[in-house]
Amino acid sequence: MNAPAFAIVGHPNKGKSSLVATLARDASVRVGPEPGTTVQAREFPMRAGGKVLYVLVDTPGFQRARATLDWLKLHDTGAASRAGVVERFVREHEAGERFRNECELLRPVVNGAGLIYVVDGATPYGPEYDAEMEILRWTGQPSLAVINPIGEPRFVEPWRRALEQFFRVVRVLDVLKAPFEQQLELLRAFGQLREGWRQPLDEAVAALIEHRQRQQADAARVIAELIADALTYQETKDLASDDDAPRHATALEISYKRRLRAIEERARRDVEALYGFDGLDREEADMKLLETDLLSRESWLVFGLKKRDLVVVSATGGALAGGVVDSALLGASFLAGSVIGGVIGGALGYFSTAKLADVKLLRQPMGGIRLRYGPSRNVQFPFVLLNRALLHHRVVAGRTHAQRGAVSLHLKEGESSANVPSFTGSTRALARLFEQLRRSEPGSGARAAALQELTAAILPMVDPQEEARGVSA
Amino acid sequence: MPNPLRTEPDLADIAALARALQRDEQCTARELAERERRLAPEVAGATDDRVATALAWLRFIEREDETVRALHERAHTAVRLTDVLIALAAILLGWAATLAAFYFDGSGRVNAVAVLAVLVLVPCLMLVPFFVANLPTQIVRRLPGAGAFGAILRGLSPGRLGAWLWRVLARDRTDPMELMTARAGAHQRLYAGVQTWAFLRWSQWFALWFQFTALTASLVLVVFTDLAFGWSTTLTSGDPVGDAQRVHRATTAIAVPWSWLAPTAQPSLALIEESRFFRAASEPVSSLQAARLGGWWTFVVLTIAVYGVLPRLLTFSIASVRLRAAARATVMASPGFSAVLRRLHRSRIETVAPVPEVSDGDRGKPAPFEPSRKVGANVRALINWSAVPVSADILDATFPGVPRFTAGGGASVAEDDALVRQFGANDDPGRGDVLVLVKGWEPPLMEFIDFVQALRRAIDSAAAEIVVLPVGLDHDERLGPATPAQLSVWRNKLARVGDPSLRVAAHQQEVTV
C-alpha cells in the first residue's frame, strides 16, 4: 500500500510552504511575502528506517479558482462523478500554461492525496475563497483546514465558521511558532482523515518522538563536550629565557580567547545541525571570561623535565655511579659511594638547572620560560557556558524551519547569565562533574565517564517542557 | 563479498580519519547531512560498536573521496615500511651484537657471562622504561622523578626511529605524518596516547627482532661453528670451589623455567668448575675439552629464548594491545566524529524533500518603482474587486458621483466579462480613469491580472489610466492605506503586466475626486 500523501493547498501567501517547512523540518523551502513563491508541487516524504510513512506535497496557490470552478461546473455530470471531472480538468490542462497552478495543486489530490487547506487567521474571510473550497469539495478527498494566523489572530472565529461548512476537521496552528507537540497533534489529525492512514501516521509520530529524544540526548552530549573542551583548554608557549615574554603573553591571551570562541561556535553549529538548521545567523553577545589572571609562567626543560625531576635524576645517576664503586669494593664502603654520589649528583642537578636552560643545542634552547594561558579555574565559568548553551538550545529546538532571520540569544531583562533555573538542587553535583572534567585527560576513561555523567545531568535541562516555556527566536 | 567489519583501528586509519574529519570542517551542515543520509543505510545498522561504525564510515568516505583513500593507502604503506625498516635495523644490530658476544677465534673461550650480559641482561634492563611507561598517570605524578625518567627514556627509545623514518621517507609518504602532527598540535592531549603507544610498540618491535636475531644467530653459530664456552670474572672470593658453587646456584636459578622440561639444559657444577678460565693464565683448549665446554650452549640459547625473546613477545603484545586501545579511544574522541555519528543516526529519519525546489524562471525583474502621482478629479468609474469591506457611505463620501461596480470574489468570471464588455461599449477616452479597489492584504492573483488586461483591451485608450488602490485592513471599514510591504507586492506584480497606464496608488488621497 502506498504511504498516505497530503497536499497542502490554498490561496497564495497563506503559509502553505511555511507549514510544509515546519512539518518537514526543511529550512530550504522558499517562503516569502511575494505571491507565487512556489511554482511546482514538491514532495516531502517522511521516511523512518527507510520506510516512507507519509508524504507532504507543497503546492502553488490557486490563481484562477473561479475559472476552474466554471470549467468543472460546465462539465459536471452529477455529484457522483465530480472527482472524475476534476481528474479530467487536470488531464486536459496540465500541458497548458493558463491553469498551471491549479493542475500542480490538484494533481496530487487526483492521485489520492488528502487535502490540507491553509488560510490566514489574521486576515478576514472573503468570497474569493468560496471557489477554492468548492473545487476541493469536488475532489471528494478527505480534507482538513488549518487556520494559520500570520499576525494578530483576530479573524480565527469567522474563519472557523466558514471552514466548518466545507471541512470535517479545522485546526488552528501558528505554523511559524508551532511547538513540537502541536506539530505532532496536527500529524495525528492527518491520520484521522481516513482509517487506513491512522497507523502510518501513528508510526511516524512515534518515530518523530523518538527522534526528538535522540536529538535532545545528542544536544546534551554536545553541550557536555563543549564544557569539557572549554574547561580544559589552555594555550602554552615555550620561550627561551631571553625572549620577550610580555609580547608573547598578549598573543597567548588573544589566541586563548579566539579558541574558546571557536569551541563555542562549533558546539552551536553542532546543535543547530542536530535540529536540521544550516548556517543560522546568530545574535549573541561574546562570552566574557570571568577572570583576568589566567596567565601563569613556569620554567621548562627539555624532555618536559622539571627542576625537581632533574635533581632526582641527577641524584640517581650519582648514586648509581657511587654504587659501582661500592660494588668494586665488594660492599666494604658500606654504600658510602652511593650516598656521596647521590648527594653530589642531586646538588649538581639543583644548581645546574638554570644553566641548562640557557644552553642551546643546534640553536634550540634546552629550557626557558613556559607561558600558560588558562584553563579557567573560575567556578562560575562552566555554569555560564552551560547557561549560554541551554539558552541557545532552547531557541534552536523551539524554532520552526519556516522561521527566517537571525536567532536572537540575548538574555531577557532580569535573566542572569549565571542563573539557570533548572540548576536548582543539582548545582553541587554539576560543580563536582566540572571538577572531574578539569582533572581528566582527553581520551581517558575518567573523561569518558565524567562526560557521560554530565550528559545525563544536562539531559533533563533540554526536555520538551523546557522548550515549551522557551524563548521564541 | 563485503569486507568484514573491523573494530581495531590502526595508525593509518587514524590518519585517514583525521583527514576525512578535517575535510568535513570545510563542508556545510547541509552537505554533510546529505552525504550521511546517503551513507547511513550502508553504515548504520551494521553494528552498535562506535569504532566499527567509524571504520565502516571511513571505508565509504574513501570510496567517494579519492584524497582520503590515497592518504590512507600511503599511511598504511608508511606504517608497514617503518615496521620493516625498524625490524631490519634490529636484525643488523642483533646480528652484530651476537657476533661480538660470541667472538671466538679458537684461542680462548666464549665468555658465557659476557654473552648473557650483552644479549639478556642489558635488554632486560631496557624493559624498565617500558614498565615505567605502563605506570598509571596518577602514580607517575606522585613518584618524584618517574615522569622525568620516563621522558628521558622515551626520548632515547628506539621507537623514535619510527618518527624519524617517517620524516626521511619519500615525500608522498610523509603527508600522513604531517597531518597527524598538525592534528596532534591542535589536539595535543588527545593524540598523545596513541603517539606514546606507537613509539612503545615500535621500540618493542625493535627489541623483539633484536632478540630473535640474537637467538637465531646463536643457534647458527652453535650449529655451524665450534664454540668453547667458559666463564670468567674479576669479582672473585679467592675460593674457586665457592665461586663455582655460587655460579652453579645462579645458573640453576636461571634455568628454573625450563628445568622441568629439559633438566640437562643447564651446566653442571663440574662443567662450571672446569669451564672457568683466567685470561692471564689462558692455555689452549684440547678438542676433547672443547667438546665438553660446548655443553653450555643449551643453557645459553634457552636463557636468550626465555629471558630475552619471551619477555619481548609479552611486552610487544602489551604495547600492541595498548596501542589498539589508545587508537580506539582516539577514534572515539576525535573532534568531529561524534557529529558524524549523530548525523548517521539522524539520517534514519528523513523528512526533507529529496529534490531541490524549482525556481520560477518566468518571473522577470520587476519594473522600477515610480512614485504615485495624484490623479485629480478624473476618475470615471470605481470597481470594487473581490468585495473589499468598505461601507457604501465611505465610498460615497470619498468618491462622490463616481459610478461603482463590483467584480471578482463572489462574482463569476462571466459576470466580470460582462462588466468589461460594458466598459468597452461605453468607452470614451475623454471620460477619465478607472479606479479598482483591492484588498491590500490579499496578493494579486492571475485572475485579477486577466481582469485588468481585459479591461485595458476594452477601454482601448492609453490615455485612460487603470489605477489600483490596495486598501489596508481596518476595523471600521475605512479606506485605510495598505502597508508598504503589501504595496510592494502589488506594485511588483502589476509592473510585470507591462502596461504603462496601469499603476498602483498608495493612498486614497492620490485618487480623491
CB contact under 8 A, B352 and A303: no
Q: Do A220 and A458 contact (CB within 8 A), yes or no?
A: yes
Across-strand partners of A236? A372
pLDDT at residue A99 tops 90 = yes
- Estimate to the nearest angstrom the gap between the alpha carbon of B455 and the chain centroid: 66
| Residue in B with minimal Cα distance to A448 | B333
Of the CA atoms within 13 Å of residue A447, those in its CB half-sphere come to 20
CB contact under 8 A, A313 and B151: no
Concatenated DSSP letters of B266-315: S--HHHHHHHB--GGG--PPPHHHHHHHGGGHHHHHHHIIIIIIHHHHHH
CA B39, B44, B49, B52 torsion-angle sign:
negative
Number of A/B CB contacts below 8 angstroms equals 202
List pLDDT tens digits, range A303-356: 556 666 677 777 888 888 888 887 777 667 777 888 888 888 888 877 776 666
Chain B hits for A60, Cβ within 8 Å? none
| Residue in B with minimal Cα distance to A121 | B441
Range in A266-270, A286-290, B98-102 the model is least confident about: A286-290
CA proximity to B504, closest of B390, B370, B365? B370
Q: How far is CA B239 from CA A209, A317, B231, in A?
A: 89, 33, 15
Average pLDDT over residues B74-103: 87
pLDDT at residue B147 tops 50 = yes
* Best residue in A236, A309, A451 for a mutation probing chain B (most B CBs within 10 Å): A309
Chain A hits for B387, Cβ within 8 Å? 126-128
CB contact under 8 A, B348 and A48: yes
pLDDT given for residue A141 in this prediction: 92
Question: Any idea which residue has 594561558 for its cell?
Answer: A373
Chain B hits for A28, Cβ within 8 Å? 30, 352-353, 356-357
Give me the residue from A25, A29, A66 closest to B447, CB to CB: A66
Encode B180-230 in three state secondary structure: HHHHHHHCHHHHHHHHHHHHHHHHHHHHHHHHHHHHHHHHHHHHHCCCCEE
Listed in order, strand segments (DSSP E) in A148-228 are 169-172
With residue B406 as reference, give the H or E element that holds it.
strand B404-407
Chain A hits for B489, Cβ within 8 Å? 33-35
Average pLDDT over residues A258-284: 87
List pLDDT tens digits, range B487-497: 988 988 888 88
CB contact under 8 A, B352 and A44: yes
- Estimate to the nearest angstrom the gap between the alpha carbon of A1 and the chain centroid: 35
Give me the residue from A44, A225, A310 closest to B351, CB to CB: A44
CB contact under 8 A, A42 and B355: yes
More confident site: A441 or A376? A376
Q: For chain B, what is the largest distance between any 2 Cα atoms, rounded to a whole number of angstroms? A: 148
Q: How far is CA A74 from CA A69, A85, A105, A362, in A?
A: 8, 10, 20, 98
CA proximity to B351, closest of A205, A236, A434? A205
Average pLDDT over residues B396-421: 88
| Residue in B with minimal Cα distance to A330 | B235
pLDDT at residue A105 tops 90 = yes
CB contact under 8 A, A303 and B193: no
What distance in Å separates the CA atoms of residue A364 and residue A52, rounded to the nearest whole number? 64
| Residue in A with minimal Cα distance to B155 | A303
pLDDT given for residue A27 in this prediction: 81
pLDDT given for residue B449 in this prediction: 94
Give me the residue from A23, A30, A308 closest to B144, CB to CB: A308
What distance in Å separates the CA atoms of residue A139 and residue B449, rounded to the nearest whole number? 27
What distance in Å separates the CA atoms of residue B36 and residue B338, rounded to the nearest whole number? 13
Average pLDDT over residues B13-29: 84
Across-strand partners of A361? A364
* Best residue in A303, A326, A454 for a mutation probing chain B (most B CBs within 10 Å): A303
What distance in Å separates the CA atoms of residue A100 and residue A119, rounded to the nearest whole number? 21
Long-range contacts of B296-300 (CB under 8 A, 24+ apart): B296/B112, B296/B229, B296/B267, B296/B271, B297/B218, B297/B222, B297/B227, B297/B229, B298/B262, B298/B264, B298/B265, B298/B266, B299/B112, B299/B251, B299/B254, B299/B255, B299/B265, B299/B266, B299/B267, B300/B112, B300/B115, B300/B116, B300/B218, B300/B229
- Estimate to the nearest angstrom the gap between the alpha carbon of A82 and the chain centroid: 48
CA proximity to A175, closest of A191, A192, A163, A187? A187
N-terminal to C-terminal alpha carbon distance within chain B: 86
pLDDT given for residue B153 in this prediction: 64
What distance in Å separates the CA atoms of residue A8 and residue A58, rounded to the nearest whole number? 5
| Most confident region among A114-123, A281-290, B296-305, B350-359 by mean pLDDT | A114-123
User: In angstroms, what separates the C-alpha of A327 from chain B's closest C-alpha?
Assistant: 9
- Estimate to the nearest angstrom the gap between the alpha carbon of A402 and the chain centroid: 16
pLDDT given for residue A103 in this prediction: 94
Coil, helix or strand at residue B505: coil
User: In angstroms, what separates the C-alpha of B109 from chain A's closest C-alpha?
Assistant: 25
CB contact under 8 A, B351 and A25: yes
Q: What angle do CA A208, A402, B41 make, to 5 degrees?
A: 40
More confident site: A79 or A472? A79
Cis peptide before B368 (omega within 30 of 0): no
3-state helix, strand, coil in chain A (%, to 5): 55, 15, 35
N-terminal to C-terminal alpha carbon distance within chain A: 40
- Alpha-helical runs (H) found in A140-179: 156-163
In the predicted model, what is the mean pLDDT of chain A? Answer: 84
Q: What angle do CA B42, B45, B50 make, to 5 degrees?
A: 100
Chain A hits for B186, Cβ within 8 Å? none
pLDDT at residue B375 tops 60 = no
With residue A70 as reference, give the H or E element that holds it.
helix A65-74
Chain B hits for A447, Cβ within 8 Å? 333
More confident site: B467 or A469? B467
| Most confident region among A33-47, A427-441, B98-112, B335-349 by mean pLDDT | A427-441
pLDDT given for residue A64 in this prediction: 94
Number of H helices, E strands in chain B: 23, 8
Give me the residue from B137, B339, B358 closest to A270, CB to CB: B339
Provide ipTM, 2 decimals: 0.76
Length of chain B: 513
CB atoms near residue A304 (< 10 Å): 15
| Most confident region among A288-302, A402-416, A440-454, B409-423 by mean pLDDT | B409-423
Chain A hits for B473, Cβ within 8 Å? 123-124
Give me the residue from B33, B144, B355 closest to A273, CB to CB: B33
User: In angstroms, what separates the C-alpha of A429 from chain B's closest C-alpha?
Assistant: 24
Which residue type sits at B251? T
Chain A hits for B145, Cβ within 8 Å? 308-309, 312-313, 316
Chain A hits for B348, Cβ within 8 Å? 48-49, 211
Range in A231-245, B53-67, B99-113, B145-159 the model is least confident about: B145-159
A469: confidence class by pLDDT, cuts 50, 70, 90 = very low
In the predicted model, what is the mean pLDDT of chain B? Answer: 78
Q: Which three cell numbers stand for residue B292?
A: 665438553
More confident site: B294 or B511? B511
CB contact under 8 A, A26 and B473: no
Chain B hits for A101, Cβ within 8 Å? 446
pLDDT given for residue A451 in this prediction: 87
Range in A244-253, B177-186, B497-506 the model is least confident about: B177-186
Average pLDDT over residues A32-43: 77
What distance in Å separates the CA atoms of residue A138 and residue A132, rounded to the nearest whole number? 10
User: In angstroms, what separates the C-alpha of B148 from chain A's closest C-alpha?
Assistant: 5
A465: confidence class by pLDDT, cuts 50, 70, 90 = low
Question: Any idea which residue has 566540572 for its cell?
Answer: A434
pLDDT given for residue A468 in this prediction: 47
Q: Do B510 and B371 contact (CB within 8 A), yes or no?
A: no
What distance in Å separates the CA atoms of residue A224 and residue B299, rounded to the nearest whole number? 60
pLDDT given for residue B300 in this prediction: 83
pLDDT given for residue B28 in this prediction: 80
A473: confidence class by pLDDT, cuts 50, 70, 90 = very low
What distance in Å separates the CA atoms of residue B13 and residue B34, rounded to the nearest whole number? 24
Concatenated DSSP letters of A400-467: -TT--SPEE-PPPTT--TT--GGGTTTHHHHHHHHHHHHHSPTTSHHHHHHHHHHHHHHGGGGSHHHH
User: In angstroms, what separates the C-alpha of A286 from chain B's closest C-alpha?
Assistant: 22
pLDDT at residue A134 tops 50 = yes
CB contact under 8 A, A272 and B29: yes
CB contact under 8 A, A443 and B190: yes
Q: Do A156 and A162 contact (CB within 8 A), yes or no?
A: no
Chain B hits for A442, Cβ within 8 Å? 187, 189-190, 333
pLDDT at residue A115 tops 50 = yes
Q: Do B414 and B502 contact (CB within 8 A), yes or no?
A: no
Chain B hits for A64, Cβ within 8 Å? 445-447, 450
Average pLDDT over residues A184-201: 93
pLDDT given for residue A466 in this prediction: 47
Query: Which residues lie closer than 8 Å to B38 by C-beta, 6 or more apart?
Result: none
B54: confidence class by pLDDT, cuts 50, 70, 90 = confident
CB contact under 8 A, B338 and A222: yes
pLDDT at residue B257 tops 80 = yes
What distance in Å separates the CA atoms of residue B418 and residue B424, rounded to the nearest whole number? 10
CA proximity to A193, closest of A146, A156, A149, A161? A146
Give me the residue from A50, A70, A304 closest to B41, CB to CB: A50
Range in A62-66, A321-325, A361-365, B72-76 the model is least confident about: A361-365
More confident site: B219 or B224? B219
Query: What is the bridge-based pairing of β-strands B229-230 and B110-111?
Result: parallel
Question: Any idea which residue has 579519492 for its cell?
Answer: B66
Average pLDDT over residues B183-189: 53
CB contact under 8 A, A12 and B443: yes
Chain A hits for B351, Cβ within 8 Å? 23-26, 44-47
pLDDT given for residue B263 in this prediction: 79
CA B475, B478, B484, B487 torsion-angle sign:
positive
- Estimate to the nearest angstrom the gap between the alpha carbon of A250 and the chain centroid: 34
Query: Which residues lie closer than 8 Å to B443 by C-beta, 6 or more apart?
Result: A11, A12, A13, A35, A36, B489, B493
